[in-house]
């Protein structure tokens, strides 16, 4: 199983969404790949653009100032039956939002990305909000974040964890 993870920490509400990444089934004979042995699994023949997000789990907790104390517990709860090695990418809301909450989320995403050698997609909250409003009922911010990052991943982007930086909305000085 391959999964994607989104963390939205810029407000008093922590949003975590995970979803499976599954290939869209292709028929090997349609691909005209002479070098493939017919015994190869047809389900394994795909690329990023031929995948879909399935089985989303979308969770939210109103944590306010307890984010720094509770985020790891919430993440562990969502990941309880999954393996960290199954993660394909991480998406993080990069701001604008609460300075401390944004920073906590970005640091967590960067740390996971570095330690698990995963791409980290940092997406600003204005883009997430605009995307979520296109649906009726609107998507949750963390689900919209995951879908936006998935679109970029499908297009072949694979940003290094070090590229994920917070947007604070103004000078911190």
Q: Hey, what domains does the chain have and what are their CATH numbers? A: 3-163 (3.30.420.40)
173 residues of the chain, pLDDT tens digit each: 899 999 999 999 999 999 999 887 655 554 544 444 443 333 344 567 788 899 999 999 999 999 999 999 999 999 999 999 999 999 999 999 899 999 999 999 999 999 999 999 999 999 999 999 999 998 999 999 999 999 999 999 999 999 999 997 655 55
**Which residues is 87 bridged to in the sheet?**
3
Distance of CA 115 to the CA centre of its chain: 16
User: Quick count: other Cβ atoms within 10 Å of Cβ 56?
Assistant: 17
Put simply, whether the predicted model's pTM sits higher than 0.75 gets the answer yes
Question: Are 59 and 16 a contacting pair, CB within 8 Å?
Answer: yes
């Amino acid at each position: 199983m391959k999964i994607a993870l989104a963390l939205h920490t810029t407000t008093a509400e922590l949003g975590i969404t995970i979803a499976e990444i599954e290939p869209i089934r292709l028929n090997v004979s349609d691909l005209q790949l002479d070098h493939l042995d017919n015994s190869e699994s047809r389900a394994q023949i795909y690329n990023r653009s031929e995948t879909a997000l399935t089985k989303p789990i979308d969770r939210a907790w109103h944590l306010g100032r307890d984010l720094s104390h509770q985020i790891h517990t919430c993440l562990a709860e969502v990941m309880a039956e999954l393996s960290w090695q199954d993660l394909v990418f991480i998406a993080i809301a990069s701001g604008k939002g609460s300075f401390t909450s944004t920073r906590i989320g970005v640091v967590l995403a960067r740390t996971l990305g570095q330690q698990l050698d995963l791409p980290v997609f940092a997406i600003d909250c204005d883009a997430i909000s605009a995307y979520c409003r296109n649906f009726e009922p609107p998507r949750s911010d963390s689900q919209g974040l995951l879908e936006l990052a998935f679109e970029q991943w499908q297009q072949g982007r694979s940003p290094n964890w070090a590229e994920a930086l917070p947007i604070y909305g103004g000078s911190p000085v």
